[in-house]
Structure 1
Amino acid sequence: METIHSDWGDWLPREVADAEPDGLDVWYLGCNGFFLKASDGTTLLIDPYLGTGDPPRTVRMVPVPFHPGDVEGVDAILATHEHTDHVHGPSQAPVLEGTDANFFAPDDSVEKAREDERWTDEWDVEDDQLHVVAEGDRIDVGSLSVHVEPAHDPDASHPVSYVVEHESGTFFHGGDARPSEAFADIGERYDIDLGVLAFGSSGMIPDKETREPTFTQWYSDPNMVAEAANQLALDRLLPSHWDIWKGLTADPRSVRDHCRSFAHPRTVVVAEIGDRVSVGTPR
């Protein structure tokens, strides 16, 4: 079982716990992870990953920002799909154990938690904390309404995206998804203030089975992320995932040039691990 060690002590979960947002704020955790906290104290985690990868195939390039045992007051964890950097027992099960939060994810992700990683056996997690969601579902958590939407990720077995509505603004998390008609439909139905889209370079990554270097593209390139942001009609785009894996990192500032001729996004927000961003009113 992988052991998690925080490079930053407990200051980040303490900052989230002590924060009093005016509306809805998010903290970027590196990779594709986020804390969300609303003005009434409702707190979510989306895709938190605190592992170091599978060296030399996947090598983590950013700090591990907290230990899951230091997290308090989380109401729910959302996962977008079943990949290890989105569903990871050592990162997420201790949060469920320590907070009695609920875990919401599509069927293959919950199956991984129950059957493959045996969260209910390896940690003090109850089976009724694990909930399967599907496209079209709505989850109400405190002051937040979470809508489960489709996502196109050719590398995942059952990916979803999430639209999180609060009275102060609307947040979108696309997981590792790429442009698709599903995003265009979401853009027509919601007014999204801040949207997160996975972005990265392509590279030669050792194959999972043979360990031979293999051309790999797991995330949208700059043109694709600009297309997806325009489909979603985002006011602000926050590129994610560009910082995590050696050989697939990229410069999120480059996305601005690719977005200039599109109507959306109006702004590209470049956030580093640990940064806090307001959803409704820019911080």
Structure 2
Amino acid sequence: MANKITEVTKESWVLSTFPEWGTYLNEEIEATVVKPGTVSIWWLGCTGIWLKSEGGTNILCDLWCGTGKRTHGTGKMVKGHQMMRMSGALKQQPNLRTQPFVIDPFEVKNVDALVVTHIHSDHLDINTAAAVNQNCPDAKFIGPQEVVNIWLKWGVPADKTIVVHPGDEVEIGDVRLLALEAFDRTVLVTEPNPEVILKGKMPQDMNELAVNYLFQTSGGNVYHAGDSHYSNMFAKHGNEHTIDVCLGAYGENPRGITDKVTSVDMLRMAEALNAKVVIPVHYDIWANFMADPKEITEIWKFKKDRLNYQFKPFIWQVGGKFTFPDDKDRLEFNFDRGFDDVFTVDNDTPFPSFL
């Protein structure tokens, strides 16, 4: 930390400020002992989560450590950009990152697997891959074929990678990871080969680009839908598997775009999956997709008795922890306000005690 203004540089400011939470959350996760019969997850922003089982297995999923727009540039989108191809719009999208970095990827420890749902860069992150590869030599890198292809291009050793397709299972410590079909129509018109779409050819196979995951643990099963849009196929997954907690990519879609699941369909997703808890994610990260998750709670209250909903919504905060089943009846996360031990030492404020 610089003590004189002459010692301050842009580099010193960056290193002393980012990530904004430093190692606070890293330390919390490392110190957490998951009780028998439970599973804990932390929200890292976007769809990134850290899952920790009662056996001490640590799984990192979709952690993104990048940024959105950093300059106005020309004011126009780059040719072939996914939003341009989806909507026909030319104006640059104001997709600014709106959340702080709550975890330091280069201080991660004891990660057993880095799991990625699909190829988009706000889920498949080179910084996360580098940090896990450097700090956790035994960690596995698990994802669909095109995710693994990108990891290999970045230099991740091939023997650390595992390619999964829908129906594949991988044992990670005391967690069983099941890959399921993804329903991300956006991914079909985006990377890794936009020329396929621009030349009017058929899109690539979804199963090579994206998967959803079911993390099966002794404390409950967590379903991660990646960037899946709403699909009737959610009912297939709900019929075939026990799903306790489901996470979906929620947001308000800009005009001319259908990319995120909106409030009503978040509830439909939970109902179709036969989940006990539905948690919206992703709405937090992009300025042009920001949404109010309380809308989900209010619509749930309006419909729950008439439609006999058997699930509850849970509104998270980035950096917050959710433990199933302990938190299954909570509707909202709030950070610890502290001062539980107030007045256990003498108060030395210079005012009379009666004030």
Task: Give the TM-score band, short-chain normalised.
Answer: 0.7 to 0.9
Superposed displacement of residue 263, structure 1: 4.2
Superposed displacement of residue 71, structure 1: 0.3
Aligned amino acid, residue 296 of structure 2: V
Partner of 2:170: 139
Superposed displacement of residue 264, structure 1: 4.1
Of the candidates 20, 24, 29, which is equivalent to residue 44 of structure 2?
A: 29
Matched, 1:195 2:208: no
Q: 1 CA distance for matches of 2:121 and 2:134?
A: 19
Q: 1 CA distance for matches of 2:41 and 2:266?
A: 20
Whether the 8 Å CA contact 2:54–2:218 is kept in 1: the answer is no
Of the candidates 10, 19, 29, which is equivalent to residue 23 of structure 2?
A: 10
Whether the 8 Å CA contact 1:237–1:265 is kept in 2: the answer is no
Partner of 2:228: 177
SS at match of 1:140: strand
Of the candidates 62, 65, 88, which is equivalent to residue 50 of structure 1?
A: 65
Deviations 1:31-60 (Å, cap 9, x if unpaired)?
A: 100000011110001111111124354211
Deviates more, 1:106-115 or 1:167-176: 106-115
Superposed displacement of residue 265, structure 1: 5.4
Matched, 1:234 2:271: no
Q: 2 CA distance for matches of 1:244 and 1:265?
A: 29
Of the candidates 133, 143, 147, which is equivalent to residue 105 of structure 1?
A: 143
Whether the 8 Å CA contact 1:151–1:183 is kept in 2: the answer is no
**Structure 1's 264 and 76: CA in aligned 2 closer, same or farther, altered over 3 A?**
farther
Aligned amino acid, residue 33 of structure 2: E
Partner of 1:164: 215
Whether the 8 Å CA contact 1:229–1:264 is kept in 2: the answer is no
Matched, 1:276 2:321: yes
Q: 1 CA distance for matches of 2:61 and 2:143?
A: 10
Q: 1 CA distance for matches of 2:270 and 2:233?
A: 12
SS at match of 1:114: helix
Q: 1 CA distance for matches of 2:311 and 2:217?
A: 21
Unmatched tracts of structure 2, length 5 or more: 1-13, 73-92, 189-208, 329-355
Structure having the larger proportion of residues in strand: 1
Aligned amino acid, residue 57 of structure 2: T
Partner of 2:265: 224
Whether the 8 Å CA contact 1:103–1:131 is kept in 2: the answer is yes
**Structure 1's 265 and 31: CA in aligned 2 closer, same or farther, altered over 3 A?**
farther
Superposed displacement of residue 230, structure 1: 1.3
Superposed displacement of residue 234, structure 1: 1.1
**Structure 1's 42 and 274: CA in aligned 2 closer, same or farther, altered over 3 A?**
same
Q: 1 CA distance for matches of 2:326 and 2:242?
A: 14
Q: 2 CA distance for matches of 1:113 and 1:218?
A: 25
SS at match of 1:165: strand
Partner of 2:159: 128
Which structure's CA Rg is the greater one? 2
Matched, 1:85 2:145: no
What's the RMSD between the two structures over aligned residues?
1.8
SS at match of 1:83: coil
Superposed displacement of residue 154, structure 1: 0.4
**Structure 1's 110 and 265: CA in aligned 2 closer, same or farther, altered over 3 A?**
farther
Partner of 1:38: 53
Superposed displacement of residue 106, structure 1: 0.4
Partner of 2:184: 153
Superposed displacement of residue 183, structure 1: 1.1
Q: 2 CA distance for matches of 1:29 and 1:135?
A: 25
Deviates more, 1:127-136 or 1:90-99: 90-99
Unmatched tracts of structure 1, length 5 or more: 205-214
**Structure 1's 264 and 107: CA in aligned 2 closer, same or farther, altered over 3 A?**
farther
SS at match of 1:66: coil
**Aligned pairs, number:** 264
Whether the 8 Å CA contact 1:136–1:147 is kept in 2: the answer is yes
Q: 2 CA distance for matches of 1:224 and 1:161?
A: 17
Of the candidates 58, 64, 75, which is equivalent to residue 101 of structure 2?
A: 64
Q: 2 CA distance for matches of 1:131 and 1:140?
A: 11
TM-score, normalised on structure 1? 0.88
Superposed displacement of residue 167, structure 1: 1.4
**Structure 1's 264 and 148: CA in aligned 2 closer, same or farther, altered over 3 A?**
farther
Whether the 8 Å CA contact 2:40–2:51 is kept in 1: the answer is yes
TM-score, normalised on structure 2? 0.71
Q: 2 CA distance for matches of 1:225 and 1:89?
A: 30
